[in-house]
Structures are given as C-alpha cells and as structure tokens.
Chains A and B, each alone.
Chain A
Amino acid sequence: MSYQIAVLGDRDSVLGFKALGLETFPADTVEEARTTLHRLAREKACAVIYLTESYAAQMEGDIARYKDELVPAIILIPGKEGSLGIGMANIKKAVERAVGADIL
C-alpha cells in the first residue's frame, strides 16, 4: 500500500518540504496543528508525520496517543527556531519506559 508523508508545522518551517513533493500542512496555531494531526492520523493515509518541535511541545498528550500505533509515526523535527531538544528527550523517555532508568 502506498502512503504519503506529511509535514506539519508553522508556515516557514514546512515551506521547503513542499519542493520535495511531501504533503505540507502549515498551521498557524497549536489548535490548528492539533486538529490537522488528528485528522491525518484518522485517515491513515500518512505513514510518517513530521511535526515541528515548537508545536509538539504543546501537544504532548496528542502525540502520546499515537505512540503505540504502527501508523502514523510522528517524528519531531526542529522548526525554524532551532532544536528544542524535545526529540532527544523523547528518546530518553522511551529508554526509561523500557528499561526503567536512562542507562545511555
């Protein structure tokens, strides 16, 4: 089955990805990003959703809901403002969840 790749974030951050042929979903507010995320996840047309960290910081609960699902994979990418370290922190959290302590 063929899937799409979505990029969700503020307008400036997602602009470049359009040139690559990815589906871009610019969102001006966190609310908008949240509804778009849920819509994309429900449609299951996107296997991978790249989400900018600045929005992800305020959507933790929404992202956690899809963490254990096979589709979609929500991957955080740094937005225009630079990396906020949330993506790295999430890896740390996954290790803590599996092992019980951060051993790396």
Chain B
Amino acid sequence: MAGTVVNPTRMELTRLKNKLKTAQRGHKLLKDKRDELMKQFLDTVREVRTLRAQVEAELMRVHGSFTVASALMSGPALESALLCPKQGVDLDMTFQNVMSVNVPVYHYHTRSQSEGDIFPYGFAATSGELDDAVEALGQVFQNMLQLAQIEKTAQLLAEEIEKTRRRVNALEYVMIPQMQESIKYITMKLDENERSNTIRLMKVKDMLLQEALEEQRQRDAQALEAFRARTEQV
C-alpha cells in the first residue's frame, strides 16, 4: 500500500487486527445511524414541503388583504394603526434529540388578554380589510412557527447526514481496506520470515552434517594410513 510504512511485527499485527475490528464495528454503527437519520430526514422534508406550500399560499393571501387595506387607507394611517401591538409573543425553545442531533422545538405563548382581541387599533378609523388581514395573519402564524421548527430540523439533519455519510465512506473505502492491506502485508512478511528461518536451519544442519562426515572420513583415512604403515613394517 502506498505511502504508509508498517513494522512487520507480531505486536503491530495484533494492534492492527484490534483496530480493524473497532473500525468495522464503527462502520456498521455509523451506517445504521445514517439510515435512520435518512428516514427521519425524508419524513421531515416531506412535511416541510407541504407545510411550506400551504404557508406561502396563505401568506400571499394575507399580503393581498394588506395591499387592499393600504389602498383604502393612507400609508401613515396604516402604519400608526399597527404601531403599538396589543399582542406579544414569547418563544420558548427546547431541544429534542434525534439520533444525537439537537433539533429545536418551539413553544410560543401570547401575551394578549384574550384570544380574539388581537387588533391593536380602534375600528372607527381603519378599513375592514385590515381586520381581515390581521386576523388571517394571526391564523397563519402558528403554521409559520411549525414551519420554522421543521425546516430548521431538516437543515440540521441534512448537515448531520452529510457528516455521517462522509465518515461511513471514509471507513468503508479508505480506513478498512488500508488496514486489511497492512494486515495482509504483515502476515505475508511474517510467513516469509518463518520460511527463511526454516531454510536457514536446514542449511545449517546440512553444513554441520557435511562437516561431521568430512571429519569422519578424515579420521577413517588416517586410521587406514596408520594401519597400512603398520602392516608394511611387519
């Protein structure tokens, strides 16, 4: 494998094998996480699409009413009518954990005295169209908040899925093959060492035998020589 050098030792082999096991486990877990995130994400996105279409249509209607109202009233009059809102909105945000992604959950409560009384102006000086517009806006607001919640959720999930997908791919296509390659390299190297060791031992044994044989032969020759000399004397 290109670029990395591993020591072909047994210790390294054990280390790599453990690492590979962890990587494979992590890969499986991340893959599961990705699949589940994807499921949640697609559900959320479908919801976002329908809700967004609805909210956009409703808002367009509200804008239409406002346009009519602004045509019937003068600009400053319209502005002054809406200047001091009677109603206030407080937003509480809590978090929900979706597969280790924190997504916001919004709760809002209004500060008006009564539900129906949201008009911050007297009816005498304003046109009826404005009442319609404000009321319609009040109705669409809840959907708008819901949209904000799920659209943000979708964005955060998309980010997390992208990250998880990268990790899964990095493990699957880079880390794990690399480790397998290293393990293969080390096993082969160790086997090769083993074989060369055996051969060396055989060779040494051969040489020792050869030497012993030679020595034996020499001794035999000397003995023969001695024997022949003695017979000649006699």
Contact = CB atoms under 8 A, between A and B. Distances in A.
A68 B155 contact: yes
A68 B157 CA distance: 9
A104 B137 contact: no
A21 B52 contact: no
Interface residues of A, number: 40
Given A78-B60, A94-B154, A12 B66 contact: yes
B186 interface: no
B111 interface: yes
Interface string B117-160: 01110000000000001100110010011011101101111110
A80 interface: yes
B164 to A, nearest CB: 10
A2 B158 contact: no
B93 A16 contact: no
B229 interface: no
Contacts of A75: 144, 147-148, 151-152
A65 to B, nearest CB: 12
A49 B157 CA distance: 19
Nearest to A50: B144
A88 B49 contact: yes
Interface in A5-22: 5, 12-13, 15-22
| 3 A-B pairs with least C-beta separation | A73-B152, A21-B87, A98-B161
Interface of B: 38, 41-42, 45-46, 48-49, 52-53, 55-56, 59-60, 62-63, 66-67, 70, 78-79, 82-83, 85-93, 95, 102, 104, 106, 108, 110-112, 118-120, 133-134, 137-138, 141, 144-145, 147-149, 151-152, 154-159, 161-162, 165
Interface of A: 1-5, 12-13, 15-22, 47-48, 50, 67-68, 70-71, 73, 75, 77-80, 82-83, 87-88, 91, 94-95, 97-100, 104
Given A15-B66, A75-B147, 10 more contacts: A4-B89, A19-B137, A21-B86, A47-B104, A47-B106, A73-B104, A78-B56, A79-B63, A91-B49, A104-B49
10 contacts: A3-B90, A5-B108, A19-B120, A68-B159, A73-B151, A75-B148, A79-B63, A98-B38, A98-B41, A104-B46
